[in-house]
Structure 1
Amino acid sequence: MKKTVLEDIITMANINFYTKIYSGFEKREATLTYTESMVVNIIDSLERPTVNELVRILGISQPNISYKINTLVAKGYVEKVQSKEDGREFILKLTDRFKAYKKIAFSSISQVIDRLEEKLSQEEMDHIYHSLDLIKEEMKNINN
């Protein structure tokens, strides 16, 4: 029972995320596909990775990831910045358009935190943030 609470939270967050992102899908210009959404969120979590780092982490071929990145560039969500150290390498930088997308996509999380802050004491919120930080660190360790 207790172990499924986090799974339930993640599932509800995912449903809310995709509902917000894909509602009115046909009406928006340059909307992200599911795969593009996944790639751009991975780029965000890696904090300005190079193209080669993304290839290595995702285990996807260079041509395949290059196609996805070029599509994200064309749609205005990602910029490719040439590395100053190695001119053959490109760093992936997210644009203001991505930041607006992320704000919409994660607005439900902000709502939940705001509601919790109204209901709980500062000490209780500190415990929640501490627990979430522990979960975040453990999640990072899974991939190492």
Structure 2
Amino acid sequence: MLQDSFSKVYTKFKMHFYQKMFEKLQERETSLTTVETFCMEIIYALDKPTVAQFADMANISSPNAAYKINNLVKKGYLKKVQSEEDKREYHLEVTQKYIDYYNISNTYLKTVMGRIEDRFSKEELETMERMLNVISAELMPEIKY
């Protein structure tokens, strides 16, 4: 069943990420809580959102978002950059510290993608890319980024 197959792949990506996260926790190389990790993933995916955009996507209040953002700034994973167009507005930018942290899962994604490219034909890869683009652009309207 397609749903089961997709779920297995998605779960394997998550499990690999969790394994690597626990390794980092054992080595004391990270100071992010689970909720902060989710916040950072949202901010990174939104690509320099405003505080309001982050709060909207996370479905949390602006004061709650500001609290979480301030903690992430203090920990060095995030910076607030004043907008050139509207000086009252700030955009959230991830730091190199977070990029290094994020690469835990991104490296595995690149490994799996290399294996996919080695395993499947050019036509199959084009079909897969087309399908993924349709899924992202058309079939997941709840996610607006």
CA deviations on 1:32-71 (whole Å, 9 max, x unpaired) are: 1111110011011111110011122222122221121111
Q: Does 1:136 align with 2:117?
A: no
Q: CA deviation at 1:30?
A: 4.2
Name structure 1 gaps, 5 residues minimum.
Answer: none
The answer to whether the Cα contact below 8 Å between 1:21 and 1:105 also exists between their aligned partners in 2 is: no
Structure-1 separation of matches of 2:98 and 2:140: 23
Q: Does 1:82 align with 2:79?
A: no
Q: Does 1:8 align with 2:8?
A: yes
Structure-1 separation of matches of 2:81 and 2:139: 29
Q: CA deviation at 1:121?
A: 2.0
CA deviations on 1:7-49 (whole Å, 9 max, x unpaired) are: 2221221111122123230423442111111001101111111
TM-score of the superposed pair, with normalisation by structure 1: 0.88
Alignment: residue pair count: 144
The answer to whether the Cα contact below 8 Å between 1:20 and 1:104 also exists between their aligned partners in 2 is: yes
Secondary structure at the residue paired with 1:35? Answer: helix
Structure-2 separation of matches of 1:126 and 1:73: 40
> Deviation above 4 Å: which 4+ runs of structure 1?
none
The Cα RMSD (Å) is: 1.8
Query: Where does residue 39 of structure 1 map in the other structure?
Result: 39
Identity %: 35
Structure-2 separation of matches of 1:49 and 1:63: 16
Q: CA deviation at 1:106?
A: 2.2
The answer to whether the Cα contact below 8 Å between 2:42 and 2:57 also exists between their aligned partners in 1 is: no
Secondary structure at the residue paired with 1:93? Answer: strand
Q: Does 1:123 align with 2:86?
A: no
Secondary structure at the residue paired with 1:142? Answer: coil
> Cα gap change, 1:85/1:64 in structure 2, threshold over 3 Å: closer, same or farther?
same
